[in-house]
Structure 1
Amino acid sequence: MNRSVIRSAHRPCTLVVCRGCCCGSPRKYPDADHVWQLDRLRAAALDSGGRFTVRTTDCLGPCDAANVIVVQPSGAGRQAGAKPVWIGFAMGDDCTDELLSWVCEGGPGVAEPPAALELQFIRPPREARARARR
């Protein structure tokens, strides 16, 4: 088997946490502890034994659904046909708990998402959908 195929099969899920113009903004959501959430996600990734990683990015686009987190499938999830999952209004303890539980179990294409978290799934912006079709 090709080495790149082997490496990609072992690639973990990645949480892409929007921290652009609206997401993570205390001006938009003053009661949410955005720093705490990001710290918690990063700490959980370190404790996960490499099951998932966390990175931040500038504005992902759907500002009306801030805070947005995109869950990129692992290599195994991609081999199963999974696409990135966009989660809107990703704030608070319950959402963070469910998100962490799901990615620790394998995320898109590997594990079923918690039902409550699934209610927060949003459609990606048009540009992201166009890239995913390529």
Structure 2
Amino acid sequence: MERTTLNAPRPDLPTVTVCRGCCCGTTKKRPGVDHAARLDSLRALLGDRATLRVTDCLGPCERSDVVVVSPSPTARRSGARPVWLGRLNGRHESSAIADWVHAGGPGVAELPESLRRATFRPTSTAVQV
């Protein structure tokens, strides 16, 4: 699996992993969407409040575009787990993800209502993040 960190990992911050494999982030699957601009927007909105990673295929291609928001190490030690989000094809999900991460992300802040429909549990064949 290819992984690219777009900003340096910072201790005790959430990590946002953006799938950019065979389906996610491609015009083949989602024509008419400027995937590069959406990634740039998410990067800018997150700022220094999270580690942003771009990775190859995470597995659940039927749910493209997929993003996994992982809790900070402190929140994970308290029992928080990564939240998988799929079918992120609207214009406002980047803002909702960034707002949630700025509030603390998984295990610290409540998942925004606007993202609840996008959550799913990955299958056993999905890449663990």
Q: Please give the alpha-carbon distance, in whole angstroms, between the structure 2 residues aligned to 1:103 and 1:126.
A: 26
What aligned pairs does 1:1-134 form with structure 2 within 5 A after superposition?
10-46=11-47, 50-128=48-126
Q: Deviations over 1:6-37 (max 9, x none)?
A: xxxx4210100000000000111012221011
CA RMSD of aligned residues (A): 1.8
Q: CA deviation at 1:113?
A: 0.8
State the TM-score, normalized to the length of structure 1.
0.81
Q: Please give the alpha-carbon distance, in whole angstroms, between the structure 2 residues aligned to 1:92 and 1:72.
A: 21
Where has structure 1 moved over 4 Å in runs of 4 or more? none
What is the percent sequence identity of the aligned residues? Answer: 46
State the TM-score, normalized to the length of structure 2.
0.84
**Structure 2 portions without partners, runs of 5+:** 1-10
Q: CA deviation at 1:94?
A: 1.7
Q: Please give the alpha-carbon distance, in whole angstroms, between the structure 2 residues aligned to 1:65 and 1:55.
A: 19
Q: Deviations over 1:101-132 (max 9, x none)?
A: 10111100000011120111011121458x68
Q: Say if 1:80 and 1:110, in contact at 8 Å, map to a contact too.
A: no
- Partner of 2:51, secondary structure, is strand
Q: Please give the alpha-carbon distance, in whole angstroms, between the structure 2 residues aligned to 1:74 and 1:91.
A: 26
Which structure has greater helix proportion? Answer: 1
Give the paired residue count.
119
**Structure 1 portions without partners, runs of 5+:** 1-9
Q: Please give the alpha-carbon distance, in whole angstroms, between the structure 2 residues aligned to 1:42 and 1:125.
A: 27
Quickly say closer, same or farther: Cα 1:22–1:128, change in 2 above 3 A.
Answer: closer
**Whose radius of gyration is greater, 1 or 2?**
1
